[in-house]
Amino acid sequence: MQVSIACTDHNLKRGNGDHSKQSATSPNVVNQARAKFRTVAIIARSFGSFTPRHISLKESTGKHTGMKYRNLGKSGLRVSCLGLEQLMTIAYDSGVNLFDTAEVYAGGRWVIHRPVFLCNGLQMSGLAVTKVAETERGLSRKHIIEGLKGSLQRMQLEYVDVVFANRPDSNTPMEEIVRAMTYVINQGMAMYWGTSRWTAMEIMEAYSVARQFNLIPPVCEQAEYHLFQREKVEVQLPELYHKIGVGAMTWSPLACGIITGKYENGIPESSRASMKSYQWLKEKIISEDGRKQQAKLKELNHIAEKLGCTLPQLAVAWCLRNEGVSSVLLGTSNPEQLTENLGAIQVLPKMTSHVVSEIDHILGNRPYSKKDYRS
Amino acid sequence: MQVSIACTDHNLKRGNGDHSKQSATSPNVVNQARAKFRTVAIIARSFGSFTPRHISLKESTGKHTGMKYRNLGKSGLRVSCLGLEQLMTIAYDSGVNLFDTAEVYAGGRWVIHRPVFLCNGLQMSGLAVTKVAETERGLSRKHIIEGLKGSLQRMQLEYVDVVFANRPDSNTPMEEIVRAMTYVINQGMAMYWGTSRWTAMEIMEAYSVARQFNLIPPVCEQAEYHLFQREKVEVQLPELYHKIGVGAMTWSPLACGIITGKYENGIPESSRASMKSYQWLKEKIISEDGRKQQAKLKELNHIAEKLGCTLPQLAVAWCLRNEGVSSVLLGTSNPEQLTENLGAIQVLPKMTSHVVSEIDHILGNRPYSKKDYRS
Amino acid sequence: MQVSIACTDHNLKRGNGDHSKQSATSPNVVNQARAKFRTVAIIARSFGSFTPRHISLKESTGKHTGMKYRNLGKSGLRVSCLGLEQLMTIAYDSGVNLFDTAEVYAGGRWVIHRPVFLCNGLQMSGLAVTKVAETERGLSRKHIIEGLKGSLQRMQLEYVDVVFANRPDSNTPMEEIVRAMTYVINQGMAMYWGTSRWTAMEIMEAYSVARQFNLIPPVCEQAEYHLFQREKVEVQLPELYHKIGVGAMTWSPLACGIITGKYENGIPESSRASMKSYQWLKEKIISEDGRKQQAKLKELNHIAEKLGCTLPQLAVAWCLRNEGVSSVLLGTSNPEQLTENLGAIQVLPKMTSHVVSEIDHILGNRPYSKKDYRS
Amino acid sequence: MQVSIACTDHNLKRGNGDHSKQSATSPNVVNQARAKFRTVAIIARSFGSFTPRHISLKESTGKHTGMKYRNLGKSGLRVSCLGLEQLMTIAYDSGVNLFDTAEVYAGGRWVIHRPVFLCNGLQMSGLAVTKVAETERGLSRKHIIEGLKGSLQRMQLEYVDVVFANRPDSNTPMEEIVRAMTYVINQGMAMYWGTSRWTAMEIMEAYSVARQFNLIPPVCEQAEYHLFQREKVEVQLPELYHKIGVGAMTWSPLACGIITGKYENGIPESSRASMKSYQWLKEKIISEDGRKQQAKLKELNHIAEKLGCTLPQLAVAWCLRNEGVSSVLLGTSNPEQLTENLGAIQVLPKMTSHVVSEIDHILGNRPYSKKDYRS
């Protein structure tokens, strides 16, 4: 298994060796960075001879790797169908150790190129995206611009490929948000912009404001999508895609760990749900709905066993089967789990319409107007 | 009492140590700066447990400080409800001494971070705003751009948060003004622009020119507002706010010192009104209208005593009670007076509709179509 | 008599000491510059107690100098009513000597600040304007941008106040010209743009293209204007001014030297008209029309004598009496003649409607729909 | 014969001596550059006393060289009627040797100024154009911007005169392409943009998207044009030119070498068609159509002999006779062949309507609605 990263090294900020060295070694910067922002880097991985039965016009396959690329919405940007959420966080967390780990893995299994650690002589390769306004500060022009500038400086990048506006901000007029996003794109700080956790109506408003003032519309929405949360990605976003070209990048394919099956017999001590700040997750799991979900996961586990894969791999492959999804972001910060998750790509060819129907039957939550892009 | 300053240090111009050192130590630069421009820095201050009865959708409270923030007009920019006019002037006036003073105060009471004095190792934090065209030179493209560039250089800032166009300029077409303001924003020299001492009609013209040519409209008008001057802020600006989102930042809450009560028994020798260049103020005070005002101030002083505050604190709190006002700029250059004025925030919760009515009755100048945002 | 220069030193390019030193001392650069471009710097001069009977709304008087400023068209840019054409050429021609000369004059009479010679410690003060496409190369986007960049580099300026498009170029679409002019303004290379030797119809086309594509329209036309050439400036440009705000800056007030009276008795040996490249001028002078002009100049000389001034001073004052003219550019490169020409400002108050009528009678060329801005 | 290059040296990136030195001497960079991009530099050549019978309004002749310039489409950019494709490739291939060769030729015949080799003290002179998206990567905003930045860096240029979008990309919305092209022009990375191998319909779409969003439309299409391929350049592009001002720059005047006559007796061993990657060319040549073409070339050779020139010179002159063609790009990388091809300019005056008709008769492929710009 080989991880290939698709993009060029043009993002790389030149001549900042000293500064980047400092970033890499200063634990304060690392912690600060971890706390304040999350970053997503899209990675790509070669996989066998899989050819989808219904080839989308927008889909292409890399010559040498057989890698499958999808357009990000109707933009011209091609992204690999599997991405890695929080790569920067991982990088910052692990410090120089990750690099070593990565090197070890490179020998046997996989490599993650880290855009940040220039001091190690590694060059950025891969799409870089970031979010602004993760905090309470909202989406004012000031915060969008300062937030992105801050991210670029911390990551030592000249620009990101996509900047996401995190959560809508009802206190800021949409015109101000779209003007600020257009500004950062025109200043060369970003190539595209997207939204995260916005409603379809809010995205439509951003689009029409962009049209009204000849500004640049968003290309993508980041939305939660997994076996137990389907409505937005399967019903609302396809409509947006067809009308205004906004695509879907999805996160939380394992529902914050619920789909790993580790909560089958209650809350283990070292799990996320046992942590104080994840009290809500714990409550969700031990609720009646939560117990029903665990029952369904047991049934799904049987399907996974039949297909010769793990439950998480099935869950990720199930997300990937939706061709309206440009990229599924993997949230794990654990190299072993990441490797396991990436194995979902081998499961994808096995997601026949029969298997998908079987899963729908178990879940019982197929949205009414669902359009299945593969059947 | 703690003064917290809300904003980031991104405004800070990098790598200009030498230059800034020179600015800080050169008395010529200081005097020149004082003479040529005024600068306003918004400060914020934590205050107790005040919660307004009618929470505006646009209002939020800082998590740790309990600080109250209002949006600047309908823009996404949050400003603290109390600001400090002429901070830069104070800084320039006081030179290194202010810094020491501020440090002393920091121990007991409050700190003002000064954006300019980089040589002391202090970093900019706080909104920075500036005005262009304070002088006779008007609002031509040339003067707006050169004026702002000059301010940024003197203040050693990369950009200001809001640039204000001071006084309308009938000799320059509105299109030229709005194009120049849009230019400085698109060049990254400012985040927003506003007006100062413009009529509602002039602001409407700027707005419609911005709409006509797809330029950036202003977000805010700086207007005089105090117990004896209410019409513009209470009648005209609310209409502008609802129609085009332009907010109000007010100045002169103490009417050039008249409301301090120090002119109760004539013009004291060391007061502003005794200065030659303030002859107009003296005449105003000793006029019949002026004497009537002094009589009203005596009555208002009784209310202040009942509420356990000083007359200036009552006057500032009275301005703050108007939630259509984004920020009240305090004009004092005297640390003791500033501290006293800031105390108005504790008085604000006592500004009940009963007290406000009582004040209206004394003043007898409540505008006809007044909308009280709190009752 | 004191020459004051109105503007700021913001145009000054910083940190190019070495380069500018080279420019100042290299004769090649000087000659090259002289050959390739002409530059105009607006100068201003204090003059006595003159107050025009019909004060234009657009006209203002400097506080300390009594200097009269007019808006450049309907733009907000104020220019002095007398300008100096080819100042840069003079500077380049004279090299370091001009500086000395200027200093000598500063003691007694006048100073010309030279924007270029930074090595002498002098800072730019005065409006800087330049022309592009003086040569055959036309007004393509490439040539406008490269031409202006070249001028800025040679003059060591960060930007000019006005860039003029010299002669229309029928081979380049108007959209391309206006887009390029808007580009250089938006890049900060110029504050405004104007035209030179364009017809009223061509200027109208530029204006309507600017309106169609939301680009920046021109503010000014440079046109020939003197006693024997009146139609364009007195009939066509006023209409443009009232319709689209384009103002007039005029050149050749002495008609290439014809109005100096030196050709009264034929072509003197050292005169311009005796030079080979001015053959056309010689032919014009010795033509029948030319001889009629000389006769009229004799009559005008009598008026000059009555007013106690020279014929050139009368001719310049006659141009200045037209308040539709923002600035009259003086073309002389001779310090003595320049001083004489500047004396026209003292003659201006004597240009009563009676005197103007008398001149009209002698000339016999008052255009039909002429609007006299002063009567 | 003298080769003159028309343009200024403003494109030249300043202060990159070290970097350029490295580029010039590193064989890796050279090979990489050769493999990844092709660059076209327009050259010009003086030719005798030729005066076209029907002078186009858009055509002009250089004062000193007698050189003939045509506007690139309806843009203001003047290009010489003969250009050189792949000049950069030649430069990279030949390394320092080309320079020496060029110098030798300069003595006797011609010089090619190479924009890249700054280490030799030569300055860029000539139009620089480049293509983006030569590879499979498409025309996303990301790839256009990164591709052009990469080219500029490799060529050590501040900007190119024209950037061409190579092949249409159905996976990228036209709005994104035109926005990205407008972005690179507004950033100063290019003066104009054009298309390459686009259909008339695709160019029309780009134009109308530019009009819809007030973006910058393309000025030129690069199209294949030779004796056996006429339809697009002679029928479709003239219509585009008249409607939207898009001009034609043509390539492959010798049909990949077919028109050299070297395939008259089959495929020679060292020829391009004998190479594995040119299998398609070989098949084309030995097909029935290919054999018919060879027969026609024999007849055309007789005409060439009558005119006293070679077959390739006739073919190039035949392209040049079409005044709707702004520039014919010569693709040869061989100095001897280049010299021969350039000789076509002397043949051009002999392309009378009689000769042209004779050629049409032999070819039998004159398009129905063909407009001959010279007859």
SS (H, E, C) C197-239: CCCHHHHHHHHHHHHHCCCCCCCEEEEECECCECHHHHHHHHH
- In three-state secondary structure terms, C83 is strand
C143 contacts on D by Cβ (under 8 Å) = 76
Centre a 10 Å sphere on the Cβ of residue B318 and count the other Cβ atoms it contains: 26
What the block records as the tokens of B61 is: 């409270």
- Residues A171 and C357: their CA atoms lie apart, in Å, by 67
Minimum mean pLDDT range among B362-371, D4-13, D195-204: D4-13
Of C145, C177, C214, the CB nearest to D214: C214
Q: Is the dihedral of CA D131, D135, D136, D137 positive or negative?
A: negative
Name the pLDDT band for D85 (thresholds 50, 70, 90). low
Active-site residue, C241 included: no
* Nearest-neighbour CA in chain B from A253: distance (Å): 32
Name the pLDDT band for C155 (thresholds 50, 70, 90). low
Q: How many CB pairs under 8 A join B and C?
A: 51
What the block records as the tokens of B314 is: 């009552």
Nearest chain A Cα to B77, which residue? Answer: A140
Do D172 and A10 count as a contact with CB atoms less than 8 A apart? Answer: no
CA quadruple D227, D232, D235, D237: dihedral, nearest 10: -120
Residues C210-268: tens digit of each pLDDT: 999 999 999 999 999 999 999 999 999 999 999 999 999 898 899 988 898 788 777 88
Query: Which position among D105, D183, D278, D373 bears the catalytic label?
Result: D105
How would you classify the pairing of strands B39-42 and B127-132?
Answer: antiparallel
Put simply, whether C161 touches B (Cβ < 8 Å) is: yes
Q: Of A127, A131, A129, whose CA–CA distance to A197 is shortest?
A: A131
Do C75 and B214 count as a contact with CB atoms less than 8 A apart? Answer: no
Query: Residue D345: which H helix or E strand, with range?
Result: helix D344-347
- pLDDT > 80? residue C19: no
Model pLDDT, residue C60: 62
- Phi, psi dihedral angles at B39 (to 5 degrees): -130, 150
Task: Choose the most confident range, by mean pLDDT, from B124-128, B332-336, D57-61.
Answer: B332-336
Reply yes or no on domain D69-257+319-346 having CATH 3.40.1710.10: no
* Nearest-neighbour CA in chain A from D139: distance (Å): 7
Domain ranges across chain D: 69-257+319-346
Model pLDDT, residue B11: 39
Put simply, whether A183 touches B (Cβ < 8 Å) is: yes
Of D8, D76, D214, the CB nearest to C146: D8
Q: Of B104, B160, B165, whose CA–CA distance to B139 is shortest?
A: B165
Of C58, C76, C245, the CB nearest to B141: C76
Of D138, D146, D179, the CB nearest to A8: D146
* Nearest-neighbour CA in chain B from A116: distance (Å): 21
Residues A159-173: tens digit of each pLDDT: 888 888 888 888 899
Q: What is the mean pLDDT of residues A118-136?
A: 46
Q: What is the mean pLDDT of residues A189-201?
A: 93
Do C78 and B187 count as a contact with CB atoms less than 8 A apart? Answer: no
Looking at per-residue pLDDT, the higher value among C163 and B34 belongs to C163
Model pLDDT, residue B337: 80
- pLDDT > 60? residue D55: no
Name the pLDDT band for C279 (thresholds 50, 70, 90). confident
The whole-angstrom distance between residue B200's C-alpha and the CA centroid of its chain comes to 19
Minimum mean pLDDT range among A21-30, A208-217, B278-287, C75-84: A21-30
Put simply, whether C176 touches D (Cβ < 8 Å) is: yes
Q: What is the mean pLDDT of residues D170-183?
A: 93
What ipTM describes this predicted complex? 0.73
Do C142 and D191 count as a contact with CB atoms less than 8 A apart? Answer: yes
- Residues D305 and D298: their CA atoms lie apart, in Å, by 11
- pLDDT > 50? residue A201: yes
Active site residues of A: 105
A142 contacts on B by Cβ (under 8 Å) = 7, 76-77, 161, 191-192
Put simply, whether D118 touches A (Cβ < 8 Å) is: no
Enumerate residues 312 to 371 of chain D having a beta carbon within 8 A of any beta carbon in chain A: none
B220 contacts on A by Cβ (under 8 Å) = none
Residues A245-265: tens digit of each pLDDT: 999 989 889 998 889 878 877
Model pLDDT, residue B161: 83
Residues A339-368: tens digit of each pLDDT: 788 788 889 899 999 999 999 999 999 997
SS (H, E, C) chain A: CCEECCCCCCCECCCCHHHHHHHHHCHHHHHHHHHHCCEEEECEECCCCCCCCCCCCCCEECCCCCCEEEECCCCCCEEECEEEECHHHHHHHHCHHHHHHHHHHHHHCCCCCCCCCHHHCCCCCCEEEEEECCCCCCCCHHHHHHHHHHHHHHHCECCEEEEEEECCCCCCCHHHHHHHHHHHHHCCCEEEEEEECCCHHHHHHHHHHHHHCCCCCCCEEEEECECCECHHHHHHHHHHHHHHCCEEEEECCCCCCHHHCCCCCCCCCCCHHHCHHHHHHHHHHHCHHHHHHHHHHHHHHHHHHHHCCCHHHHHHHHHHCCCCEEEEEECCCCHHHHHHHHCHHHHHHHCCHHHHHHHHHHHCCCCCCCCCCCC
Model pLDDT, residue C213: 95
Put simply, whether A78 touches D (Cβ < 8 Å) is: yes
Model pLDDT, residue B276: 82
- Residues B49 and B260: their CA atoms lie apart, in Å, by 27
- Residues D312 and D323: their CA atoms lie apart, in Å, by 19
Model pLDDT, residue C47: 26
Active site residues of B: 105
Do D140 and A78 count as a contact with CB atoms less than 8 A apart? Answer: yes
The number of CA neighbours under 13 Å toward the Cβ of A34 is 15
Of A138, A146, A183, the CB nearest to B76: A138
Do D140 and A8 count as a contact with CB atoms less than 8 A apart? Answer: no
What the block records as the tokens of A109 is: 């299994």
Put simply, whether C172 touches D (Cβ < 8 Å) is: yes
Q: Are D196 and D165 in contact (CB under 8 A)?
A: yes
Minimum mean pLDDT range among B247-256, B356-365, D270-279: D270-279
For residue D279, what are the contacts with CB-CB under 8 A and spacing of at least 6? none
A138 sits in the region (left: phi over 0; alpha: psi -120 to 50; else beta) called left
Which residues on adjacent β-strands are paired with residue C325?
Answer: C248
Put simply, whether B78 touches A (Cβ < 8 Å) is: yes
Model pLDDT, residue A105: 30
Task: Give burial (CB, 10 Å; 0-12/13-18/19+) of C277.
Answer: exposed
Put simply, whether D71 touches C (Cβ < 8 Å) is: yes
The whole-angstrom distance between residue B41's C-alpha and the CA centroid of its chain comes to 8
- Phi, psi dihedral angles at B157 (to 5 degrees): -110, 150
Subunits adjacent to chain C (3 or more Cβ pairs under 8 Å): B, D
Do A214 and B216 count as a contact with CB atoms less than 8 A apart? Answer: no
* Nearest-neighbour CA in chain B from A180: distance (Å): 9
Name the pLDDT band for C283 (thresholds 50, 70, 90). confident
Looking at per-residue pLDDT, the higher value among C156 and B118 belongs to C156
- Residues A105 and A114: their CA atoms lie apart, in Å, by 14
Query: Which position among C69, C92, C105, C373 bears the catalytic label?
Result: C105
- pTM over 0.90? The answer is no
